[in-house]
Amino acid sequence: MKKTSLLISTAVMASAFVAVPNFVIDPISMSSQAVAEQVKKKKRHPGKRLYMRKTCMACHGKGGARPIQNYPSVSAQPEKYIATQIKDILSGKRVGSKDENGNVRTAPMTGSLITSEGKLRISDDEIKQIANWLSTQPPAKVKPLETPLSADQITAAKKLYKKKCRACHGKGALKPLKNYPVIAGQNKAYIIAQVNDVKNKIRKNGKIKSMYPMVKKLTDDQIELLASYLSQIDRSK
Ligand code: HEC
Ligand code: HEC
């Protein structure tokens, strides 16, 4: 009798002892680095993981702020603007003109995110997560122009901006109306392409029609000047 109970209690003790390392993590025995890593893992935004998994990074770069070619930087924009544009591009509501290679500007993105059978590779919820994450990421760094603008050109650009753009895109192009895009610090080639697509009424989605009258009479030189000026505004300041 005595022997059996001893045996049982030993077994219980043994199993308890074995079980401990399986489900109790003792923070004291973990190195502080391991603890920090655990915390970081927990905090990693699902939008960030999706941004990598859905290959957005290949075209828009790290954190959405290092686009390739004439592609847009997509970080630090209003969350709603980002989500709407992704959906509009994927649904075909937003299209673009043809680039110098003869490809419709939105085609790289639809090509990556829509299967050949026309199925979306991304859900609305995933778009929401990515948009939420991108909206919190730092804006792109300014890419200096090959030939910096002269003081006179900057004065002329500021004047034109104030007259034609400021009402919606805000002071210094930094404080747009609610859910409108920030155009300061955007990729210069992308700004030129978009303003032309708006001028030619190729971009028709969202509230863009309100911009039509403002760009209707802009010349190529004025668009170039505005894009140069806007691309050099440093959003980190
Ligand atoms: C193969 C390249 C490519 C991939 C992959 C790609 N994009 Fe794009 N994206 C583009 C291009 C090019 C444009 C601009 C289209 C235009 O000029 O009309 C664009 C436009 C956008 C815009 C609109 C930007 C603005 O300022 O209006 C957002 C937002 C965006 N992409 C987010 C994403 C996200 C998020 C992913 C991943 C789920 C993604 N893109 C994957 C190429 C890509
Ligand atoms: C009456 C309001 C209004 C004015 C004025 C205006 N815009 Fe816009 N602009 C918009 C709206 C709205 C959008 C985004 C449309 C959407 O939500 O799809 C936009 C989008 C843009 C985009 C595309 C941004 C991106 O990330 O794709 C650029 C570039 C731009 N505007 C430049 C300009 C410039 C340059 C001027 C002045 C010549 C100007 N806008 C004047 C309303 C305006």
pLDDT in the model for residue 231: 98
Q: Which of 73, 102, 135 is the last residue of a domain?
A: 135
126 and 193 co-located in one domain:
no
Angle between helices 188-199 and 220-231 (to 10 degrees): 140
50 and 129 co-located in one domain:
yes
CA of 73 from ligand 2 middle (Å) equals: 15
- The reply to whether 71 falls in a domain is yes
Cβ atoms 180, 168 nearer than 8 A: yes
- The reply to whether 141 falls in a domain is no
Task: List, chain by chain if needed, residues with CB within 6 Å of any ligand 2 atom.
Answer: 72, 164-165, 167-169, 180-181, 183, 191, 194-195, 205-208, 210-211, 214-215, 226
83 and 162 co-located in one domain:
no
Alpha carbon nearest to ligand 2 atom 16, residue:
206
Weakly modelled stretches of the chain, pLDDT under 70: 1-30, 35-36, 38-42
Task: List, chain by chain if needed, residues with CB within 6 Å of any ligand 1 atom.
Answer: 54-56, 58-60, 71-72, 74, 82, 85-86, 89, 96, 105-106, 108-109, 112-113, 122, 130, 181, 193
111 and 180 co-located in one domain:
no
pLDDT in the model for residue 44: 86
> Pick from 165, 179, 133: which is nearest to 233 by CA?
165
- The reply to whether 28 falls in a domain is no
117 and 162 co-located in one domain:
no
Angle between helices 46-53 and 124-135 (to 10 degrees): 110
Q: Which of 101, 135, 169 is the last residue of a domain?
A: 135
**Which ligand has an atom closest to residue 160 CA?**
2
105 and 163 co-located in one domain:
no
Number of H-type helices and E-type strands within the chain: 12, 0
CA of 86 from ligand 1 middle (Å) equals: 7
58 and 89 co-located in one domain:
yes
pLDDT in the model for residue 34: 73
Q: Which atom of ligand 2 is nearest to the CA of 194?
A: 29
163 and 227 co-located in one domain:
yes
- The reply to whether 18 falls in a domain is no
- The reply to whether 156 falls in a domain is yes
CA–CA dist 85, 223 (Å, integer): 22
pLDDT in the model for residue 237: 82
78 and 118 co-located in one domain:
yes
Q: Which atom of ligand 2 is nearest to the CA of 94?
A: 18
Q: Which of 109, 135, 161 is the last residue of a domain?
A: 135
- The reply to whether 60 falls in a domain is yes
Sign of CA dihedral 130, 72, 181, 230: positive
- The reply to whether 3 falls in a domain is no
CATH code for position 111: 1.10.760.10
> Pick from 40, 38, 22: which is nearest to 30 by CA?
38
**Which ligand has an atom closest to residue 163 CA?**
2
- The reply to whether 34 falls in a domain is no
pLDDT in the model for residue 42: 58
CA–CA dist 126, 132 (Å, integer): 10
pLDDT in the model for residue 43: 72
CA of 79 from ligand 2 middle (Å) equals: 16
Task: Look at the chain and report how many structural domains it folds into.
Answer: 2
Q: Which residue segment(s) compose the domain that 83 sits in?
A: 46-135
**Which ligand has an atom closest to residue 176 CA?**
2
pLDDT in the model for residue 21: 42
Alpha carbon nearest to ligand 2 atom 34, residue:
165
Q: What is the pLDDT of residues 172-224, one digit of tens each?
A: 999 999 999 999 999 999 999 999 999 999 999 999 999 999 999 999 999 99
